[in-house]
Structures are given as C-alpha cells and as structure tokens.
C-alpha cells in the first residue's frame, strides 16, 4: 500500500526526461577584476560546451573536475571545448592567483 | 596537471583565507561543494514521502504488546574464535592507539611548522578524514573513539609513567564533579567547535588548527586530572560525548555479561534484562571472558532506557542545529538574514540551537499533555532527545558524503608530504583526486533517501520511547502526534536546504 502510494507519487511528480539529445552550447565568459561574468555556467549532462573566455588581466583559466586549463591574455579571447560528461558542481579558478572565479554546474539528464 | 599545479590547487582554499581581509563566504568553512541543489519536484516528493512514511511506525506499534521490555536481537562477535583473537589482540588495539597519538602529533607539527598556504595534512586530516570520516565510521560501524582518543591515551601513558616513578596516587585528583553541571561543559565546547567549523574564517589555516588542538589538549588533560579521567570523558570531553551519541546508532555495541561489574557505574545503560551495554569503562574493567562485542540492528542503541544527565538533551539539539547551520549558511535566505538583520554568523551559531531547543521543548510539552499529562516535563524532554539523533546522522551523511569521497582523496597524497616540504614518503604524493565517482543524479536520490530514512527511524524511536514512558498504547499514540509534526517539519527543512541554490 505504502509502496504503491510512494511509487505513484514518484511517477506523478517526476517530470518527463529533459528535452532531447545533448546540445551544442556556447558561452561568452568575461573575467573582470577577478570575477567571472556570468558567475555560473549551467549546462546539461552530455552537452558539448564551448567557452569563449576574455579577461582584463592575464589569467590561467582552470576548471576543476574536467581539468581543462587555458592561459588567457587581455584582449585575446581564448576558446575552450569540452563535453559535459561529469555531473555536479565544479569550481573554476585562476591558477595564477589561486582565486575562485566562478562555478560550472552540470545537471544530470 | 603537474604536481606543482595540483599542489597549488590544494592551496586555493587555505590561501584565500590568508589573503583576503573580508571573511570569504565559502560554503562550509572548508572546501567546495560538489553537489548541485536537488530539483523542486524531488524536494516535493521527499516531503510527501516523509509525511506518508511517518505513519508506518505508528501502524507497526499499534499491534505491539504494551509491557514488552526493550529487546532486540544481538550476536556476540567474540563467540567466533577467530574474531575474538583478532579484535582483542594487543598488536591491533595497541597499534591503533599508537597510530592515533602519532597522527595527533603529525597534525600539530604540520600545523606549527608545515607550509601554511598550501599542501599541508592538518586541515584535510582534521576536517575531512577525522571529523567527517570518523563520524561516519562511528555511526555505521562502531565507536572506536574510546579506544583511540589521543588525549585519553596520552593521559594513560602519563599516568603510567607517574606511577612507575613512585607516585602511587597517579594524576587524578578526583575532585567531586558537580551533578548539576551534567553535560554542559561538553555542550559549551562543542558549540565552540561548531563555530570554528562554520564561522571562523581561519578554520582551514594549519597553524590555527594546531593551536586549537593544543588549547583543547590543555583543557582535556586538566579536566581529566581534576575530576578523574572517566568523569571528564563522559561529561566534558565534547568528542567523547559526540562519538558516544553516534555510537548508539551503530550496529555494534560493547557489553558486559556480569551486571555486578556495572553496579556502581553511572555511564552504563541497563538494558532491563540485567546486562549492561555501551559503557567502555566497564568493558575495560571486566574480565576478558565477561566482555562481549555485539552486532545489533542499527539505531536500537538510541532507544535504550538511558540515564540522561543534565544538558543531555541540549547536546543532541546542538549537534542537530550544528549540522543544519552548516547547510543553512549556503542558502540565499541566510545571506538575506545577515544582510538585513543584526544577526551575524557567530550570533547565528548560538541562536539556532536556542531556537531548535525552544521548538523541541514546546513539542515535548504538547506531546506530554496529549499523552495524559503525567510524568515530569524534564523526564520527557530528556527521554525524547535521542530519537532526533538518526535525523542528525542522516543529514550529516547526505550533506557530506560526496565531500568525503572527493576531498577525502587528498589525504592519499598528503600522507606522503604532510608538511608540504616536497617529500614523497610513500610514493603517493602525485596522486590526483578522481571526480566522477558519483553522478549528480545518484547524489540527489541518495540524499533524499537518506533524509527520509533517518526520519522514519526517528519516528520509530520516538514511538518506542513514548510506549516506555506512558505504558499505554492509546496514550502513546496520541502523544506521538506532535512529535510526528516536529519530525516532518524538520525533515522538510532539511530537504528544503538541499534544494536551495548555493550562494557564494
């Protein structure tokens, strides 16, 4: 009985699986004064992500978990590509100054 | 990534504390959060499940005998010869004690002379391996703290030395411990610890950890010498009390077959069948053939007819409020509270337990009135407190287990280079943590399942406690309605915190 109620509730509340197949996503990311805009990049699992990173200072743009690292010079946008296959919340930091810039959030499908 | 850059990464958190003037609004006092908030539908589902499942224990209990003594199945592991020889062997127990004291000194030395702004074993060992790791081990395997507590071991060694030097009286002054003081010293010290963990912006700085550890050593050794070792460990040593509480949830217990051994001990639980369990002092004092190490169903230790000293309920509430505060700190709501009201983080650490305590006492009084109004209020307040422990454990687990899994891996490289001096003692200094151990989807479901399971166990315990107090199924049933509301409220709060966006 209880199992039935809980099972029913689960299917009632659970939304349909998020639309479709993995998408190509591109984000323009700018780092100014040690802060990333937008501060949070949110994607879905499996998405192919492109980040176009620009910065007002030379930084070493590093994404935890994915271990993607790229040096960015002012006035020279750098492009990063990766496939969002790890889900969770990952810090993005400047390896040069050891400061946290923002967060990458990958939601499961 | 090279070893150098990886080390720099490890330094990131510690460094930000030293360099910035303003206290950083980090998730918890140490390290990042890897979990993403649970989605709204799952939050609603968890809340609904908590309400529905709360009635299961009620249904189970309505069929129970009214005066059945508190019994549960146990199996004495010492009956297996191999286990007995292994678990009671001196190389194992003595080795664990020695290891624990060595780790204590490694942490203190690393904190004092090791690299401050980077690779250093002290923060990771204390906050991840010991604090999170050992608390999980205690709750889900058994309480090792009475064996490995480094302050207790150090005291024993000092005492042995003093006696060998010819001072017969040893170190203990055995001053009478004021009864009314109860667990309050442990409550106070634990509150300071919660503040250090969640509010103090330098909690990840190795030197601070060493200084705190040394200060606590002084307090603990002094307490043990002044009031007697066991008295202070039971009443004032915050971690003995804390791990003791979690150990009651554990699926193992120590016990003594001959009840006479425990006759004049006030730290024992009498299980109403004449044996005493959960008291390590009596266990150590008993003859080897009188000792037992039992397997038991989890959480039943929290329902034992216990003698709760003054401050016992307050300690449980402080533990519960402490784990909640840790999660609350990351929510937008808390940010707004700090911005708009005079409430600061430090004030919050003190106010939240107070708020929890008032709510708890209010519901206990309601429960007492609905149950017929007999029996003292204090007795009820003390008796129900243990039923909240599974909720605290479940929340702590849901909140921290990914943290332990990912950040905990740092210890593998740190043991090879504890001071950050570029050593590679065990050849593991270049180890890199693996991130994708558990997916975020699994984390969501397991967090909700843990919290709801803790909630159901708590409701079950509260009901079995009420049967013992009231000795009447009908009155016990009525008395449980307010407790049900309390537990559902708390569970929904826990789930709500997990569903909140994480603010920086």
* Chain B residue with minimum CA distance to A67: B1
Q: Does B36 touch chain A (CB under 8 A)?
A: yes
Distance from CA of B34 to the nearest CA of A (A): 5
Q: Please, which residues bridge with residue A100 across strands?
A: A93
Q: Do A98 and B52 touch (CB under 8 A)?
A: no
Q: What is the CA radius of gyration of chain A?
A: 18
Q: Which CATH superfamily is domain A22-107 in?
A: Cupredoxins -  blue copper proteins (2.60.40.420)
* Chain A residue with minimum CA distance to B434: A65
Calpha distance B342→B321 (Å, rounded): 20
- Which of left, alpha, beta for B276 (phi over 0: left; psi -120 to 50: alpha)? beta
- Domain edges within chain B: 3-251+296-499
Strand ordering across the sheet containing B75-76? B75-76, B291-295, B252-256, B276-277, B269-270
Q: What's the burial of B504, exposed, middle or buried (CB within 10 Å: 0-12/13-18/19+)?
A: middle
Burial A60-84 (b: 16+ CB within 10 A, else e): bbbbbbbebeeebeeeeebebebeb
| pLDDT recorded at residue B225 | 94
**Structure tokens that stand for B154 in this block:** 């150090």
Global ipTM: 0.83
* Chain B residue with minimum CA distance to A35: B504
Over chain B (504 residues), the average pLDDT of each successive run of 10 is 44 39 36 82 90 82 61 88 90 95 97 89 94 96 96 95 86 90 96 93 91 97 94 95 95 86 69 70 85 91 81 94 90 90 90 96 94 83 92 93 91 92 90 85 93 93 87 86 93 92 74
Q: Residue A102: name the closest of B239, B494, B502, B468 by CA.
A: B502
Calpha distance B187→B193 (Å, rounded): 10
Place of tokens 């200060």: B215
Q: Measuring CA to CA, how many Å separate B412 from each of A74, B11, B107, B129, B409?
A: 38, 16, 15, 11, 6
Calpha distance B461→B442 (Å, rounded): 28
**CB-CB neighbors (< 8 A) of A67 in chain B:** 1
Q: Do A87 and B9 touch (CB under 8 A)?
A: no
Which residue, among A61, A87, A104, A105, would best test binding to B if mutated, counting the most B CBs under 10 Å from its CB?
A87
Q: Do B45 and A64 touch (CB under 8 A)?
A: no
In three-state secondary structure terms, A75 is coil
Q: Do A10 and B1 touch (CB under 8 A)?
A: no
| pLDDT recorded at residue B171 | 85
* Chain A residue with minimum CA distance to B25: A100
- Which residues, at least 6 apart from A43, have a Cβ–Cβ distance to it below 8 Å? A25, A49, A84, A104, A105, A106, A107
Calpha distance A51→A31 (Å, rounded): 12
Q: Do A99 and B502 touch (CB under 8 A)?
A: no
Q: Does B496 touch chain A (CB under 8 A)?
A: no
Q: Does B3 touch chain A (CB under 8 A)?
A: no
**Structure tokens that stand for B65 in this block:** 């005998």
| pLDDT recorded at residue B10 | 46
* Chain A residue with minimum CA distance to B54: A2
Calpha distance B4→B10 (Å, rounded): 10
pTM over 0.80: yes
Q: Please, which residues bridge with residue B331 across strands?
A: none
**Structure tokens that stand for B253 in this block:** 């217990």
Which residue, among B48, B60, B447, B448, would best test binding to A if mutated, counting the most A CBs under 10 Å from its CB?
B48
Q: Does B11 touch chain A (CB under 8 A)?
A: yes
> Shortest CB distance from B36 goes to which of A9, A14, A88?
A88
**CB-CB neighbors (< 8 A) of B41 in chain A:** 13-15
| pLDDT recorded at residue B20 | 34
Residues of A with CB under 8 A from a CB of B: 2, 5-6, 9-10, 13-15, 39, 45, 62, 64-65, 67, 69, 85-91, 93, 95, 98-100, 103, 105-109
Calpha distance B424→B416 (Å, rounded): 5
* Chain B residue with minimum CA distance to A10: B45
**CB-CB neighbors (< 8 A) of B439 in chain A:** 45, 86-88, 108
> For residue range A57-88, what is the model confidence (pLDDT) as tens digits?
889 998 888 888 889 999 888 898 999 988 88
Q: Please, which residues bridge with residue A53 across strands?
A: A29, A78
**CB-CB neighbors (< 8 A) of A91 in chain B:** 32
List, for chain A, all residue ranges whose pLDDT scores fall below the cut of 70: 16-20
**Structure tokens that stand for B432 in this block:** 């890199």
Calpha distance B435→A83 (Å, rounded): 15
| pLDDT recorded at residue B348 | 92
**Structure tokens that stand for A59 in this block:** 């930084």
Q: Is the dihedral of CA B443, B448, B454, B457 positive or negative?
A: negative
Q: Does B70 touch chain A (CB under 8 A)?
A: no
């Amino acid at each position: 009985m209880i199992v039935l109620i809980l099972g029913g509730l689960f299917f009632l509340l659970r939304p349909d699986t998020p639309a479709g197949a993995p998408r190509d996503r591109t984000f323009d990311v700018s780092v100014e004064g040690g802060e990333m805009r937008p501060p949070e990049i949110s994607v879905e699992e499996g998405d192919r992500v492109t980040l176009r990173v620009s910065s007002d200072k030379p930084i070493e743009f590093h994404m935890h978990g994915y271990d993607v690292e790229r040096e960015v010079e002012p006035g020279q946008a750098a492009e990063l590509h990766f496939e969002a296959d790890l889900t969770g919340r990952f810090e993005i930091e400047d390896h040069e100054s050891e400061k946290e810039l923002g967060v990458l959030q990958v939601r499961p499908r | 990534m090279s070893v150098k850059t990886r080390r720099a990464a490890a330094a990131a958190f510690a460094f930000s504390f030293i360099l910035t003037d303003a206290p950083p609004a980090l998730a918890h006092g140490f390290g990042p959060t890897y979990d993403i908030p649970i989605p709204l539908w799952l939050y609603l589902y968890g809340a609904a499940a908590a309400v529905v499942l709360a009635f299961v224990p009620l249904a189970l209990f309505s069929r129970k005998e009214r005066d059945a003594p508190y019994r549960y199945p146990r199996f004495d592991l010492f009956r297996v010869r191999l286990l007995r020889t292994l678990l009671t062997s001196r190389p194992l127990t003595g080795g664990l004690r020695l290891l624990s004291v060595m780790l204590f000194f490694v942490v203190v030395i690393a904190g004092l002379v090791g690299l401050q702004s980077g690779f250093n074993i002290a923060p990771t060992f204390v906050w991840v391996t010991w604090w999170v790791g050992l608390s999980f081990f205690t709750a889900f395997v058994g309480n090792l703290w009475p064996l490995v507590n480094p302050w207790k071991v150090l005291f024993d060694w000092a005492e042995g030395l003093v006696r060998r030097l010819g001072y017969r009286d040893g170190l203990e002054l055995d001053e009478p411990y004021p009864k009314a003081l109860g667990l309050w010293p442990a409550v106070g010290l634990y509150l300071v610890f919660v503040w250090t963990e969640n509010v103090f912006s330098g909690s990840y700085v190795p030197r601070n950890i060493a200084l705190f550890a040394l200060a606590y050593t002084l307090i603990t050794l002094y307490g043990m010498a002044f009031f007697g070792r066991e008295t202070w460990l039971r009443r004032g040593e915050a971690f003995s009390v804390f791990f003791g509480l979690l150990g009651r949830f554990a699926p193992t217990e120590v016990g003594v077959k001959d009840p006479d051994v425990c006759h004049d001990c006030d730290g024992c639980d009498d299980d109403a069948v004449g044996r005493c369990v959960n008291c390590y002092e009596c266990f150590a004092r008993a003859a080897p053939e009188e000792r037992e190490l039992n397997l038991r169903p989890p959480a039943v230790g929290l329902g034992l007819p216990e003698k709760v000293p003054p401050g016992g309920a307050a300690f449980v509430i402080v533990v519960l409020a402490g784990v909640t505060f840790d999660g609350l700190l990351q929510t937008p709501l808390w940010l707004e509270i700090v911005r708009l009201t005079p409430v600061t983080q430090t004030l919050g650490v003190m106010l939240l337990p107070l708020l929890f305590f008032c709510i708890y006492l209010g519901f206990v009084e309601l429960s007492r009135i609905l149950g017929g109004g007999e029996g003292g209020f204090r007795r009820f307040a003390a008796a129900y407190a243990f039923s909240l422990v599974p909720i605290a454990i479940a929340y702590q687990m849901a909140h921290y287990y990914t943290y332990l899994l990912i950040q905990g891996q740092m210890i593998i490289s740190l043991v090879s280079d504890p001071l950050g001096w570029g050593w590679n003692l065990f050849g593991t200094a270049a180890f890199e943590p693996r991130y994708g151990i558990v997916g975020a989807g699994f984390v969501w479901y397991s967090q909700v399942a843990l919290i709801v399971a803790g909630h159901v166990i708590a409701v079950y315990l509260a009901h079995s406690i009420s049967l013992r107090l009231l000795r009447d199924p009908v009155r016990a049933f009525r008395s449980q309605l307010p407790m049900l509301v309390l537990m559902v409220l708390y569970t929904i709060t826990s789930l709500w915190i997990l569903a909140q966006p994480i603010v920086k």
